[in-house]
Structure 1
Amino acid sequence: MGQRAADETEQQVRAGVRGGGGDQDAPGETVAPVQDDSRGILHPAAAHTIFHLDRFPSTGAAARFVDRYWLSTWNLPPGVRHEQQVLVHPVVNVVFEAHGAVVSGVDTGRFATVLEGSRRALGVMFRPAAFAPFLDAPLNTLTDKELPLSAVPALAGLEPLLVPLVADLDVPAEQLAATADAAMAERAPQARQPCETTTEWAELAVRDRGLSRVEDLANAVGVGVRTLQRAFTEHIGIGPKWFLRRYRIYEAAERVAHQERVDWSELAADLGYADQAHLTRDFTAAFGLPPAQYAAVSAARRGAGPGGGANSGDGAEPADAAGDGTV
């Protein structure tokens, strides 16, 4: 980050935008599921007939950096394959499967994975910008890329600890989440990190739908647009304009997923778009279909069940797995 950005970030830290730590539960003790959140899973009603998704909150020291732990489990008949497309959250996920672990950076496209057999995947989903202390490089070097977890020394020991537990289908989801949470708490930096200010800015952008433009967000957090852009690029891996657009698109897709009747012109205005055409353009680029067509496909698939989504390569949409970044 440039000197001006560093100076403004430090001013935010001194101003106490976010308190570090605080009293929280001990690591590994809380395993209550995170509330349902299907953002980013294409056609989620159909997808959830194929796989089961558990989500658990981070606790204690880990909660400063980790948003949640997700576990995707599937059991498909022999010879049946199922592809799932996901529009991942703009965060880093560390994903564990029976064969190893990878670090997935922000994916600016649609992630696709094929499910078969009886398996599962465990993900550590970081908060926006919060992977920065664990990677010895700006986060934009990881955008649209994966790294083997072994290439991240700050997280050494996680792979041999968690991969065997993921591979053993008899290990309960709650135990997996608690073990991952305790391990992340041990590896969490104690000191306040520069990226934590960027995390606050990003999470404000997610919460406040009124912040539809980069200039609005910059004004809300009291920094210049260029400072905001540098912080997002270095700590998250993408710019604030792209970040804001991704969450606006999630909002549109969620309304479709929950079978709401959608007035697309009104929704475009609600989400800060100049007109419906701009929303349609962004939605189509993200999901591969115009909004109305996506809504029709989702409605048709809602009652399909496993037989209507699993396939051997016919292009049907489907379930979720190792890249779930939505979770």
Structure 2
Amino acid sequence: MNANIPQPSMGILNINGSEDKFRLVRYAPSEEIGLFVKHYWIVSWDLTGQEPYWQDVIPNPCVNLVIQKNHTGIYGAAKYKYSKLLEGKGSVFGVKFKPGGFYPFIKKSVSELASQPLDISNVFDVETLAVEDAILSQDDAGSMVELAESFIKPKLPEKDETVALINRIIDRIVDEKEITKVDDICASFAINKRQLQRIFDQYVGISPKWVIKLYRLQNAAETIDHDRNYDRLKLSADLCYHDQSHFIKDFKAIIGKTPDAYAKQ
């Protein structure tokens, strides 16, 4: 296991301003598990004697298995920005499944996870408190990853081609900013719109329309993070918004403030 995989912000807002607050590393899964898992992630912080810190995150269309003292669970994809309070000293270990990659483990619509996280003991042959103690007590990341793989591997489902299709679709959304409507995806992949929406509800938990919007606004926030004197007109055009007011409205709906307010924070 190693952390030598790309380290984009992946939705972490104001990442340049948070470098001294916490450390985030990501680790690639083994090949077999990699059919379903995007990566493992570990966040650690030591704010002893400092003010607590709120970190804002734009969600990705992924299910996450989160191991944190008293907060362990399997969480579905969210639609809006959420904030995490970091205080004192601590760490969190996570398993980020590929978009659609968790559905084969439960064979139930993952949209149900939006309102209530799932206890890991309902999916894997482990006890929640035992997993917390075992993984969070490790001194090195490699051991954490090995322990996680040891309870994931026995429960690996059969390869699911729908998961592969979903990830090809989302890769296209990420790579081609010209994709702004669900109809664009349907035309590109020769898939019925209703069928596509049903697949995303079942496997991803959010609609393809929301996936497009999340990635466009994530790109916008990353651009502003790296250039506080950004050109609003150029940015909205680069993201294929033909109406600046529409761009500002979407940005505020997801991020919680206008682009200019976000740049000034």
Q: Same fold (TM over 0.5)?
A: yes
Distance in 2 (alpha carbons) for counterparts of 1:81 and 1:166 = 24
Give the conservation status (yes or no) of the 8 Å contact 2:135–2:147: no
Query: Where does residue 131 of structure 1 map in the other structure?
Result: 102
- Please state if 1:234 is matched with 2:230: no
Residues 223-262 of structure 1 mapped to structure 2, 5 A cutoff: 223-259=191-227, 261-262=229-230
Query: Where does residue 264 of structure 2 map in the other structure?
Result: 296
SS of 2:12's equivalent? coil
- Please state if 1:86 is matched with 2:75: no
TM-score by length of structure 1 reads: 0.74
Query: Where does residue 203 of structure 1 map in the other structure?
Result: 171
Is the alpha carbon distance of 1:89 and 1:61 closer, same or farther for their aligned partners in structure 2, counting shifts above 3 Å? same
Summarize deviations over 1:43-93 as a string: whole Å, max 9, x none.
Answer: 212222111111111221111111011100011225742222222112110
CA RMSD between the two structures: 2.2
Residues 313-324 of structure 1 mapped to structure 2, 5 A cutoff: none
Aligned residue identity for 2:126? G
Question: Alignment length, in residue pairs?
Answer: 265
Aligned residue identity for 2:7? D
- Please state if 1:264 is matched with 2:264: no
TM-score by length of structure 2 reads: 0.90
Query: Where does residue 156 of structure 1 map in the other structure?
Result: 125
Is the alpha carbon distance of 1:258 and 1:165 closer, same or farther for their aligned partners in structure 2, counting shifts above 3 Å? farther
Which structure is richer in relative contact order (CA contacts within 8 A, separation 6 or more)? 1
Identity %: 27
Q: Say which one has the larger Rg.
A: 1
Distance in 2 (alpha carbons) for counterparts of 1:66 and 1:285 = 29
Structure 2: 5+ residue stretches without partners: none
Summarize deviations over 1:76-114 as a string: whole Å, max 9, x none.
Answer: 225742222222112110000133521111111222222
Query: Where does residue 316 of structure 1 map in the other structure?
Result: none
Give the drift of 1:144.
4.3
Summarize deviations over 1:181-202 as a string: whole Å, max 9, x none.
Answer: 4543333223435444333323
SS of 1:60's equivalent? coil
Distance in 2 (alpha carbons) for counterparts of 1:232 and 1:164 = 35
Distance in 1 (alpha carbons) for counterparts of 2:58 and 2:11 = 4
Distance in 2 (alpha carbons) for counterparts of 1:188 and 1:208 = 32
